[in-house]
Structure 1
Amino acid sequence: MADIDPAAVLTQWAEHHTGLALAHHRAVTIRWINAGKASQGATLTMGGQERAVKRFRVCEGCGKLDRETGQNNPHEHRAWCAFRNTHEEQNRTIVLTHTLQTQGLVVYLPRHITLADDFAIPSLAAAVRLGLREHLGGEPDHLDIALVRAPLPNQQGTADALLIHDLVPGGTGYLSEWETSKNLHRLLATAWEVVANCPCKDEERLACHRCLLPFAGVGRQVGRVSRATAERHLATLLCLDGDEPDKVPDFRLWKTESRIDTAHYLDRESALEHDFRKLLLDRFTTAGATIKETPKPTGNVAAITLPGSPRRWTLSPQVHVLGTVPDFLLVTDDRNVPDVAIYTDGWQFHASPTHNRLGDDAQKRTRLREAGYVVLGVTYDDLANAESGKALQPYLDDAAKAKAIGLPTTQSSPKAYDRLSANPLDWLVEWLVEPDVNALTTASRAMMFAFSPARPSSPMEEPKLRAIPQPVGVGESLAGLVARELSGGQLPPSSVDRNRKAALWRSGSLGVGIEQLQDTFEIAVVLDDRQASLADGRESWQAWLRYANAMALRDWPTTITTLSLVDASLATPKAPVETFEDTVVELDGAWADLYDLANEGAEQAVLTQLASAGVGAVPVIGEEGPGGIMLDISWPEAKVAVEIEPMEEADRADLLDAGWQIVPVDASTLITDLAAAGVK
C-alpha cells in the first residue's frame, strides 16, 4: 500500500491523446503488510479493499507463533516466557508491516488500458522494469514498482497507477532522470521494441526469459504477465498505429501538457468497450459460465463454457470481418448458430457534430447482416440501464403479441417477443444460454406490429412516433420514401404509384417506413445524419440502434440506413424501369443453345433482346466471377455482367474492385449500356 500526498508533487505532465500521465512526488509512504495465508473466514480491510486473510496468532508474552489452537504447549513459547506453563493460552492476533518513506514517480494508466484486463497492469509493470534494465545495463535493484490506486488532482477520485520508487529511505534523486516526458517515452519505446520482437511471440506462451519473465514476480502476478498484452498497451501509449506494419516510436507523436485530464480515468463513454466487456463477462459468470482468458495481439480472447451445454463460445476483440472490425465477435462451435458482431458505440465518437460516422457505420453493418451475421449495437445508456435494472418499454404489448401469435408467419413464443426489446447485455446472456435462432427470427418479423397506429411504440423514454399516411412514388424504394419525408421532398401527384400502400412514422430525426408486400412486410429505418440534425439527435440515434438490434435476425426485407446513404435521386422518384415483354423470336446456333439453358422469365427475355439487337458477343450463363461470385449473364473476357437478380453489396464491391462492370437489367438502356461497357 502507498500513501501518496497530492500536495507533495514536484512536477507533473500528461500526454493529451492517450491520457498517460506522470507525477513526481518528493515523498511517498509505502507499507508492506504480511497478514498470513489466505483464509475463508476472517477478513481484513487493507487499502480500501476487504481481503480474506488468516493473520498471525502469537504469544503476547514472547511473540512466538502459536501453531496449535485450543491448548497451550510449552514448545510454542520461548524458554523465558511467563506464559510457557500456564493452562490457558495468552495469544494476540497480529499482522506484520514494513514502512518506507522515499521518493516516487506515479505513472497514471488511463481507464481504457486497465479496465476489464487483468493482464494489463502486471504486464506493463514488468515492461517498465524491462525498460529500466535495458537503459541501466543491469538489474534496477535499487528501484521497485508497486501497483497502486493513486489520487487524481482536485480530489476527483483515484486511478490505477504504477508507483516507481526508490528502495532507499528518503530517496537517492535517481528518479529525477525519468520524470520528463521525453525520457519516459524513451523507456517505454525500448520496452516495446524488446517485447514486439521477442521470439516467444511465435511460441504460444505468455512471456519468456528473453522479455518479461524475469520481472513476472512484480505484484505477485506471475500468471498475469503477457508479452502480447504489454506490446499492445505500450503501442497504444506510444501512439503507434496498430495497422501500420513498420511502426517506429516517435516522441513527436506525443502532445504533453501540464494539466492531468481526469476524463481519461473517470469518463465511462471513452472506455465503453472495456466497460461492456467487463460487465458482459460478469453476467456470463453469474449465469454459471466458466471463462478462461488468453492474451492475444488485439486483446484478451475469452473462452466460455456453460455446465451441461455442448457448445463452446469465444468472445474475441477487434476481429477483421468483411472490411469492418467489430469491437467483439461472439462465436460458437455450433455452426447452426450465427456469429454475433458487437459494436460498442459512444455518441461522441459516432453520432455527434464533431464525429459523424453514421453512414460508415450503417454500410459496414449492412454488409455483415447480408452475410448472415447477427449485428448488435451497444451504447453507454445500455450499460447504465443494465446496471440499474431499468427495462425499456416492450415493443409489442399483449394485444400486438396476440396478433403476431395468430399469424403462422409471425407465430413465436412470448419470451422471444420480449427479447426484441431486451437490453443488449441481457440479450447476449440469453443467447449464450439458449440461442433459439428460429424463435427469434420469427418474432422479429412481427416488428411491424410495434408501429401500429393504435399503439405507437418507441425505444425512447416515451412513445413519440406519430402515424403519417404516405403515398409512394413510382419506382421509389421504401427507404427512399422515408428519406423523402426526412428531407422534406415533395411527390408530384402524377408520380404516385396507386398500386402500393405504405405507412411512415417519424420522431425527431428518425423515420420508419412499413410496406406490405405479398406475404411479408418490409421495414426501413432511416436516420437523418445531416450535420444540422446531429446536435439534437442523440435520442433518435439510440432508437435507430435499438430498432436495428430488435431486427438483427429478421429475415423479411429490412433496411437500416442513414439519409446520406439513400440515393439522392430517391427524393425525386425515378422513372419506372422498362421491363422485358414476352417476345417470340426464333433463335439459332449458340443463342438457341444458350436460351435453352437460361431460366424462364428475365434471363430468356434478355437473351432474346441481345440476339434481336444483333449483339455479336455471345455471353455465358451461370459463370463464377472472382471469389466464386455467381453471375447471371456475363462476358468474362470483357469483365461485364448483367445484374438480373439483385446482388449482395459485398459481392458487388468485390466485382468492382476486380475491375468488372455491372450493367442493370433495363430494357430501354441495356443495349447502349452494354455497348458503353465494350460488349457489342
Structure 2
Amino acid sequence: MAIFADGWRFHAVPACNRIADDAHKRRALRDQGTVVVAITWRDVEQALAHAVAPPDWFDQQLVAVLMQQSAGFGPDHVDLLRRGPIDFLLGWIQRPDPEGHEALGNQAPWLFAKGGTHLSLDPGEDLAQAAVEHLTDSASPSPPRAITNAWWWRAGDVGVLTRALAVGSASSLETVVVLDDRPERLTDGHRAAWEEWLRLGNVLGLRTQPTRIVAFSEVSAGSVATAEPAASVEPATLLPAAWQELLDLATDEERHLLVDLAGDGVVPVPELGYETGDGFPLDIAWPDARIAVDLHIDEDVRRDLVDAGWMLVPAEPEAIAAAVAGAHEGA
C-alpha cells in the first residue's frame, strides 16, 4: 500500500501545480498492483471530530441492492465510501480483505449512473478524451438517441465517465475520473474538486476493470495511454435509456431477463419493486396490465395475487412477451 498525504497548497495551486505529476505517479503504482490511498489534512480533522459525511453520490439504497447481488463485498467495505480514508486504513489493518475492496471498486461506478447524464459512446471512442470534452463542455453535439451505454457525472471541476462494456454485468465497466488542472481553474473553489478527485481515486483505484484516474492536462498532452478492454469483455449491447435506468438498480438475475426483454423490442418498460395495494412486493411488473414475473414468489403470496386478478408468468422472455401482448390485445 502507498499512502499519499499531499497538501493542497503544495500540490494544487497555481504556484505549485503538481496534479498531473501526482496522477501519473499514482497510476504507475496502481498498474503495479499497489493499493493507493490519498489522505488530506481535512480528512484527519473530520475523522478526529467524528464528522465525516458520506459524499453526495453515495446512495445507501443502491449499495444495498448491489450487496444483495452477491457482489463480493459487505457493509464493512462500504465504509470506504461512507466514512473516508482514515476509517478505510483502520479497517485494512484490522480486517484486510483485498478481494472485497476490489469487488466494491468494480461495482462503484453504478453509483454515478442514477444522478448522471446518460450518453451513447462508440466502443472505440477514447473514454479519457470524451471525459475531458464533457468536463469542458466541448463535446461535439450528436443526434438524440434512444439508446445509451454510458453515463457522465460531474461536480464542478471533477467528473466521472463510465461506459458499459457488457450489459448485465456490473463488473464490466470502463471508468475515467478526470480533474481539470488548468491554471485558470485553480482558485480557492477548486480545492473541493481536488479533494473529491482524491476521494474518488481511493475508491475507483481499487478496480480490476479498465480504470484511469487522470488530470486534464495529461489527456490534452496525449500522455495517458488508451485503456485496452479485457480480452474476455465484449462491447456493450446498447439499450434504450428507460431500460438502462432499470438495469442500474436491478439484481443480476433481473438484469439478464431485462436485457432479453429490451432486445425483443415488443415489451413495454416494466416497473421494478412494484408494491400492490395489499402490500405484496413484485420484482418486475406491468401494473396497468396486472402482469408480474414470478421470481421466487412465495406460494401463499402467489395464490393471493392470482385471487386479486394478477397474472403471474415465468421468468422467460417468450412467455412474458406473449402475456403482455395478450393483455394489450384484450384492452
Find the counterpart in structure 2 of residue 525 from structure 1.
177
Asked whether the 8 Å contact 1:405–1:411 carries over to 2, the reply is yes
Does 2:66 correspond to 1:404?
yes
Does 2:138 correspond to 1:489?
yes
Find the counterpart in structure 1 of residue 200 from structure 2.
547
Find the counterpart in structure 2 of residue 428 from structure 1.
89
* Post-superposition CA distance 1:374-418 (Å, at most 9, x none): 00111111111111111221654331122212334x342121122
Asked whether the 8 Å contact 1:405–1:412 carries over to 2, the reply is yes
Asked whether the 8 Å contact 1:472–1:497 carries over to 2, the reply is no
Asked whether the 8 Å contact 2:8–2:191 carries over to 1, the reply is yes
Find the counterpart in structure 1 of residue 40 from structure 2.
379
Match among 508, 518, 522 for residue 156 of structure 2 = 508
Asked whether the 8 Å contact 1:420–1:444 carries over to 2, the reply is no
Larger Rg: 1
Find the counterpart in structure 2 of residue 418 from structure 1.
79
The verdict on how the C-alpha distance between 1:428 and 1:498 changes in structure 2, with shifts beyond 3 A counting, is same
- Aligned pair count? 218
The verdict on how the C-alpha distance between 1:480 and 1:497 changes in structure 2, with shifts beyond 3 A counting, is farther
CA distance in 2, matches of 1:492, 1:400: 31
Q: Indicate the SS of the match to 1:566.
A: helix
Structure 1 stretches lacking a partner, 5+ long: 1-339, 457-466, 575-680
Equivalences for residues 98-177 of structure 1 within 5 A: none
Asked whether the 8 Å contact 2:5–2:40 carries over to 1, the reply is yes
Letter in 1 for 2:110: F
Find the counterpart in structure 1 of residue 191 from structure 2.
538
* Post-superposition CA distance 1:235-279 (Å, at most 9, x none): xxxxxxxxxxxxxxxxxxxxxxxxxxxxxxxxxxxxxxxxxxxxx
Letter in 2 for 1:397: D
Find the counterpart in structure 2 of residue 365 from structure 1.
26
CA distance in 2, matches of 1:419, 1:485: 27
The verdict on how the C-alpha distance between 1:567 and 1:353 changes in structure 2, with shifts beyond 3 A counting, is closer
Asked whether the 8 Å contact 2:30–2:205 carries over to 1, the reply is yes
Asked whether the 8 Å contact 1:472–1:500 carries over to 2, the reply is yes
User: Between Structure 1 and Structure 2, which shows a larger proportion of helix residues?
Assistant: 2
Find the counterpart in structure 1 of residue 301 from structure 2.
none
The verdict on how the C-alpha distance between 1:507 and 1:423 changes in structure 2, with shifts beyond 3 A counting, is closer
Match among 444, 447, 451 for residue 105 of structure 2 = 444
The verdict on how the C-alpha distance between 1:471 and 1:533 changes in structure 2, with shifts beyond 3 A counting, is farther
Q: Indicate the SS of the match to 2:151.
A: strand
CA distance in 2, matches of 1:357, 1:540: 15
Asked whether the 8 Å contact 1:401–1:414 carries over to 2, the reply is no
Find the counterpart in structure 2 of residue 348 from structure 1.
9
Q: Indicate the SS of the match to 1:559.
A: strand
Equivalences for residues 271-290 of structure 1 within 5 A: none
Asked whether the 8 Å contact 2:3–2:38 carries over to 1, the reply is yes
Percent identity over the alignment? Answer: 33
Letter in 2 for 1:559: R
The verdict on how the C-alpha distance between 1:420 and 1:487 changes in structure 2, with shifts beyond 3 A counting, is same
CA distance in 2, matches of 1:425, 1:378: 8
Q: Indicate the SS of the match to 2:16.
A: coil
CA distance in 2, matches of 1:347, 1:569: 25
Stretches (4+) displaced over 4 A: 496-500, 567-570
TM-score by length of 2: 0.60
Match among 113, 128, 132 for residue 479 of structure 1 = 128
Q: Indicate the SS of the match to 1:373.
A: coil
Match among 457, 469, 472 for residue 118 of structure 2 = 469
Letter in 1 for 2:164: Q
Letter in 1 for 2:92: W
Please state how far the C-alpha of 1:430 moved relative to its aligned partner.
1.3
Asked whether the 8 Å contact 2:181–2:217 carries over to 1, the reply is yes
Q: Indicate the SS of the match to 2:15.
A: coil
Letter in 1 for 2:131: V
